[in-house]
Amino acid sequence: MTEYENQAWLTNWLRLKAKQEEKDFNNLAEVKAKVVSICFIQLELKGKVVIEDFPHLKQLNLSNNKISEITIKNCPDLKLVSLAHNKLTKLTIENCLSVKEIYTHNNQLEKWDVPVEEMKKQNLRIVSYSNNPLSPTEKARLDTLGLPDRVIISRVDSDAQTWLDAKYPLVERDKVEKLDLGELGLSGELNLAGFTNLKRLDVSDNELTKLELDYCPNLEYLDCSNNYRIGETEIKETVKIEGVWTERKRKKKIKVGISSLDLSKNKQLQEVHANHCFIEKINLTGLTKLHTLMLTSNKFDELDLSSLVELKELNCALSQSFKFKKLDLTNNQKLIGLYCYKNSLEELEVNHLKDLQYLYCYDNGLNQIDCNGLKKLEKLSCQGQYQCKGKGGLMGGLNLQGCESLEELDCAENGKIKKVDCSNLKKLKTLSCKVTSELTEINVSNCENLTFLDYSLPSNISVLNLDGANNLKEVYYSKEAKVFPDWRTIPSLEKVGILERKQVKGEDGLEWCAFMEEIDVLGIRNTERIQQILANPSKFSLEYLISIEGRQLHGVSYDLRTKLRDLGIKKFNKRFLFADEGYETGDEKKNLSKPEKQKKEESSPLIPQNNTPTPPSNPKPNKPDYEKLYFELLAKIKSGEITIENKEQIINSNLSEEQKQELLKLLERKIQPSFEIQPKTTNYWPWICGAIAIGGLVSFIWYRKRKRK
In contact, 515 and 502? CB cutoff 8 Å? yes
Same-domain check for residues 705 and 673: no
Domain-ending residue, one of 472, 492, 520: 520
Domain count, the chain: 4
Of the chain, the percentage scoring pLDDT greater than 70 comes to: 79
Residue 167 binned pLDDT confidence (cut-offs 50, 70, 90)? confident
- The predicted model gives 55-83 an average pLDDT of 90
Q: What is the mean pLDDT of residues 590-604?
A: 39
Find all residues with CB under 8 Å of 75, minimum gap 6, and list them.
Answer: 51, 52, 53, 54, 55, 57, 60, 95, 96
Q: Are 562 and 642 part of one and the same domain? A: no
CB-CB contact of 178 with 168 (8 Å): no
3-class SS string, 257-269: ECCEEECCCCCCC
Q: At what angle do helices 558-576 and 521-535 cross, to 10 degrees?
A: 40
Mean pLDDT, range 603-608, rounded to an integer: 34
Rounded Cα–Cα distance for residues 545 and 551 (Å): 14
For residue 568, the model assigns a pLDDT of 86
pLDDT at 681 over 50: no
So what's the pLDDT on residue 560? Answer: 93
Please check whether residue 224 is in contact with residue 190, taking contact to mean a CB–CB distance below 8 angstroms: no
* Claim to verify: residue 82 and residue 132 sit in the same structural domain: yes
The answer to whether residues 131 and 49 belong to one domain is yes
Residue 131's pLDDT is: 82
CA distance linking residue 686 with residue 277, whole number of Å: 81
**From the CB of residue 699, how many other CB atoms can be counted at a distance below 10 Å?**
15
pLDDT in tens, 529-555: 999 999 999 999 888 888 888 888 999
State the amino acid at position 47 in one-letter form: G
Give the model's confidence band at 65: pLDDT under 50 very low, under 70 low, under 90 confident, else very high: confident
634 and 689 part of one domain: no
How far are the Cα atoms of 23, 24, 47, 51, 56 from residue 15, in angstroms, in the given order?
Answer: 9, 9, 21, 16, 18
CA-CA distance, 212 to 263, in Å (whole number)?
A: 9
pLDDT in tens, 423-471: 999 999 999 999 888 888 999 999 999 999 999 886 788 899 999 999 9
By CB neighbour count within 10 A (0-12 exposed, 13-18 middle, 19+ buried), where does 120 fall?
A: middle
Residue 45 and residue 79 share a domain: yes
Query: Do 59 and 88 fall into the same domain?
Result: yes
Q: Compute and round to an integer the Cα radius of gyration of the chain.
A: 42
Is 166 a member of any domain?
no
285 pLDDT band, cuts 50/70/90, is very high
Residue 216 clears pLDDT 90, i.e. is over it: yes
Low-confidence winner among 184-188, 267-271, 336-340, 593-597 (lowest mean pLDDT):
593-597
* Mean pLDDT, the chain, integer: 81
Q: Are residues 460 and 442 in the same domain?
A: yes
| Whether residue 656 sits in one domain with residue 634 | yes
Lowest mean pLDDT among 44-48, 598-602, 689-693: 598-602
Residue 26, in any domain of the structure: no
Beta-strand relationship, 397-399 and 368-370: parallel
Q: Please choose, from the candidates 141, 75, 129, the residue with its C-alpha nearest in 3D space to the C-alpha of residue 102.
A: 129
pLDDT at 372 over 80: yes
Beta-bridge mates of residue 391: 388
Q: Is residue 91 part of a domain?
A: yes
Among 67-71, 309-313, 374-378, the least confident range? 67-71
Q: Is residue 655 part of a domain?
A: yes
pLDDT for 428 equals: 97
Res 375: pLDDT: 96
Q: Which residues contact 390 (CB under 8 A, 6 or more apart)?
A: none
Please calculate the CA angle 294-299-300 and round it to the nearest 5 degrees: 80
Pairing relation of β-strands 221-223 and 200-202? parallel
pLDDT in tens, 549-586: 888 899 999 999 999 988 988 887 777 654 444 444 43
Answer for the pair 227, 258: CB distance below 8 angstroms, yes or no: yes
Same domain, 688 and 665: no
d(CA 49, CA 63) in angstroms, rounded, equals: 13
What is the DSSP-derived secondary structure letter of residue 647?
T
Mean pLDDT of 160-172: 89
Count the Cβ atoms, other than its own, within 10 Å of residue 341: 21
Does residue 92 lie within any of the structural domains?
yes
Q: Is the pLDDT of residue 617 over 50?
A: no
pLDDT at position 620 is 42
**In this predicted model, what pLDDT tens digit does every residue of 255-270 receive, in sequence order?**
788 999 999 999 999 9
* Structure-model confidence comparison of residues 109 and 619, the more confident one: 109
Find which of 37-41, 364-368, 448-452, 622-626 is predicted with most confidence, using mean pLDDT.
448-452
- Supply the pLDDT for residue 233: 63
CA 205, 206, 209: angle at the middle one, nearest 5?
Answer: 125
What pLDDT is stored for residue 649 in this prediction?
72
pLDDT of 345 strictly over 90: yes
Structural domain for 425, as ranges: 418-520
Q: Quickly state the pLDDT bin for 628 (edges 50, 70, 90).
A: low
* pLDDT of amino acid 606: 30
Higher pLDDT, 203 or 662: 203
- Higher-pLDDT residue of 506 and 630 is 506
| Spatial distance between the Cα atoms of 498 and 519, rounded to a whole number of angstroms | 8
Is the pTM higher than 0.85? no
For residue 672, pLDDT over 60 is answered with no
pLDDT at position 679 over 50: no
Tell whether 543 and 661 lie within a shared domain. no
- Mean local confidence (pLDDT), 620-639: 57
The CA distance from 702 to 179, in Å, is 61
Give the helix, strand, coil percentages of the chain, each rounded to 5. Answer: 25, 25, 55
pLDDT confidence band for 701 (50 / 70 / 90): confident
Which residue among 91, 111, 143 closes a domain? 143
DSSP state, residue 590: P
| pLDDT higher at 700 or 383 | 383
pLDDT at residue 332, rounded to an integer? 97
Compare 159 and 666 and report the one with higher pLDDT.
159
Residues 688 and 561 in one domain: yes
Please say which residue of 92, 127, 143 terminates a domain: 143
In a domain, 11, yes or no: no
Q: Give the list of residues 6+ apart from residue 277 with CB closer than 8 angstroms, or none.
A: 224, 225, 226, 227, 228, 257, 258, 261, 297, 298
In a domain, 446, yes or no: yes
Nearest C-alpha neighbor of 289 from the set 266, 316, 273 = 266
Phi and psi angles of residue 121, each rounded to the nearest 5 degrees, phi first: -65, -25
CA distances from 354 to 289, 362, 374 (A): 20, 20, 5
- Per DSSP, the residues of 52-80 read E--TT--EEE--SSEEEEEEEES-TT--E
**Span 487-510, mean pLDDT?**
85
pLDDT tens-digit readout, 379-416 = 999 998 865 444 566 776 789 999 999 999 999 988 78
Q: Which pLDDT band, with edges at 50, 70 and 90, does 708 fall under?
A: low
**One-letter-per-residue 3-state SS of 219-250:** CCEEECCCCEEEEEEEEEEEEEECCEEEEEEE
pLDDT tens-digit readout, 13-36: 787 777 666 555 567 777 888 888
Predicted confidence at residue 611, as pLDDT, reads 39
| Model confidence at 626: pLDDT above 80 | no
Residue 318 included in any domain: no
Q: Are 180 and 202 in contact (CB under 8 A)?
A: yes
